[in-house]
Amino acid sequence: MKALFLIAALTSALIAVPAQAEVYRQVDANGNVTFTDEPGDNAERVDVKPVTTVTMPKPETVKKQLAEEDESIGDQEAYESVSFTSPANDEAFHSGSGNVEFRVTSTPALRQGHQFEITMDGTPVGQTRSGSVTVNNVFRGTHNAGVNVIGPNGERIYTGDKISFTVHRPSVLN
């Protein structure tokens, strides 16, 4: 009986321990670095930190939560359009400080709990309920901007059309 209990306890302990492989770093005679799970003559062990993972909610779960909050909200059906009022598409303008004010609007008006998210060159630069976001010190040149409507749980509800604009700034070299 004691032997059976001991085997069961050891099996449980082995199952509970996460599997971790050892990682070794090797440098060959030419200076090339390789990583492997097998120790070599001149290999040194590397401590690898655990990887952080994030589990996103399933789209069905998000839709259900939205429907419970406001039965009139469907994903893309919630808005007919979301667009920039400023700057205009393909507009070029001078901005000595590099500040650019983005103004956006939606049809119908922004719903309770939703926000506009402005992106510039693919990177989010601000969120607002008022429809206005100012980005400071934008480099000279042509940029792309996009607008999304973000729901209360951070999910993207609607994506509007992208625009392109050009900022002219004085040069410190002239």
Each residue of 37-59: pLDDT tens digit?
888 878 888 888 877 777 877 77
Q: Mean pLDDT lowest for which of 9-23, 84-98, 144-158?
A: 9-23
User: Is residue 5, in this structure, part of any structural domain at all?
Assistant: no
Query: Residue 152 and residue 156: Cα distance in Å, rounded?
Result: 10
- For the chain, how many structural domains are there in total? 1
Higher pLDDT, 163 or 43: 163
Q: What is the pLDDT of residues 107-125, one digit of tens each?
A: 999 998 999 999 999 999 9
* Residue 52 within a domain: no
Q: Tell me if 143 is assigned to some domain.
A: yes
Q: Name which of 11-15, 42-46, 133-137, 150-154 the model is least confident about.
A: 11-15
With respect to residue 73, please indicate whether it lies within any of the assigned structural domains. no
Whole-model pTM over 0.85: no
Closest to 155 in 3D by CA, of 122, 113, 93, 109? 113
- For residue 16, pLDDT over 50 is answered with no
Per-residue pLDDT, averaged over 60-67, amounts to 70
> Is a pLDDT exceeding 70 seen at residue 7?
no
The boundaries of the domain holding residue 127 are: 81-168
Residue 73: the pLDDT is 46
Q: Which amino acid is at 16?
A: A
Tell me: pLDDT of 72 over 70.
no
> Is 171's pLDDT higher than 70?
yes
Backbone φ and ψ of 169, nearest 5°: -130, 150
With CA atoms as reference, report the closest residue to 90 among 131, 133, 145: 145
| CA 17 to mean position of chain CA atoms | 32
- Does some domain include residue 53? no
CATH number of the domain enclosing 123:
2.60.40.10
